[in-house]
Amino acid sequence: MESYDKPGRIRNILENEILPGVSPKVSSIISRLNDNYIANLEEIRMRLGKPLMINCCKADYMVTSFGTIANSIDAAYNVSRDDCEMTMQLLSNYSIYAIEDELKNGYITLKGGHRVGIVGKGILESGKLKALKNISGFNIRLSRQIIGAADNLIKFLLKRGSIYNTLIISPPQCGKTTLLRDIVRQLSCGVPSFNFKGLKVGLVDERSEVAGSFMGMPQNDVGFRTDVLDACPKSLGITMLIRSMSPQVVATDEIGSKYDAEAIYEALNCGVRIITTIHGDGLEDILSRPYIGDLVRNRVFERLIILSSSNGPGTVEEIIDGTNLNVLVKKPFR
């Protein structure tokens, strides 16, 4: 396994930002992991009555109670009910009510921008999720900001003091959010090497993954001209930002619905530029989708960026001219 981070830095993040919110037993196990797994750690998975697991470089590993990799399911540490209950208490600082609104979305955001997905039994009221109880699983996902992730790409997005409307197309876990975050940062702060002075950016961070806001403050650097609307639906947030913050660019992550498409048309009609992402396996996949496929066919996006993980997360396979769907550059950064 090729390491892509320094284990000491990740251990420091775990010790100060993540493990204080995890049951003491699981915290102790994760702390004992080998440096190579620590350096590549992406997720910690806790499922009630199931093996404790970690995800590194897109591979899943079961972990023993000694912090080593289990060679069989029988050798793995099984997450207990006490682990789940204690983790929930620690994450909420012993006040479930304090995070009730976040729990309705199925996750909470930690200091440092790390996100914890939570599952259990849903409690409905008038057909809407009111709360979760009998918590049975956690997905603790480490936030990794890579400053400069968009350095090679940014020149293809700049357009005479503005930007091209851009759609980033990527399968899951191929670096699209990391790339979007750095694009937002550079558009906001400016790019001196291209004499680009920076723009006012409105970021609708529906799932708190781009800015990673904690108590209202972005934990990731998204630029000093960026206004963040956290945990707000994209379709509503785009309209709110246009009306209240006069952005020159609106950025969002993972569009897909009819309402997202309608909000994008509204932004364009107001003269606002758009940069966003979508899960997909390529251009043909997106063209087959309702609503978003129509955006592409109607030439809304002037740049289409196709990502993969063939050379690691964030590999740019193609840059496509959205006005005619011709490939501008193929595998530009190999």
Residue 310: band (very low, low, confident or very high) from pLDDT cuts 50, 70, 90: confident
pTM of the model: 0.85
- Give the range of the structural domain holding residue 204, as residue numbers without chain letter: 154-330
Whether the predicted pLDDT of 78 surpasses 80: yes
Q: How many domains does the chain have?
A: 2
Amino acid 150: pLDDT: 95
Query: Are residues 158 and 127 both part of a single domain?
Result: no
Query: Are residues 185 and 44 both part of a single domain?
Result: no
Amino acid 198: pLDDT: 95
What average pLDDT does this structure show over 324-332? 92
Residue 146 domain flag:
no
Answer with the one of 116, 141, 166 that is the final residue of a domain: 141
Residue 134 domain flag:
yes
Query: Are residues 40 and 187 both part of a single domain?
Result: no
Question: What's the pLDDT tens digit per position in 80-131?
Answer: 999 999 999 999 888 777 777 777 788 888 989 999 999 999 888 777 777 7
Question: What's the pLDDT tens digit per position in 264-300?
Answer: 999 999 999 999 999 999 999 999 999 999 999 999 9
Whether the predicted pLDDT of 200 surpasses 80: yes
Torsion, CA 241, CA 243, CA 248, CA 249, rounded to 10: 30
- Give me the CATH number covering residue 245: 3.40.50.300
Whether the predicted pLDDT of 227 surpasses 90: yes
Whether the predicted pLDDT of 1 surpasses 90: no
Residue 66 domain flag:
yes
Report the chain's mean pLDDT, rounded to a whole number. 93
Amino acid 133: pLDDT: 82
Query: Are residues 134 and 178 both part of a single domain?
Result: no
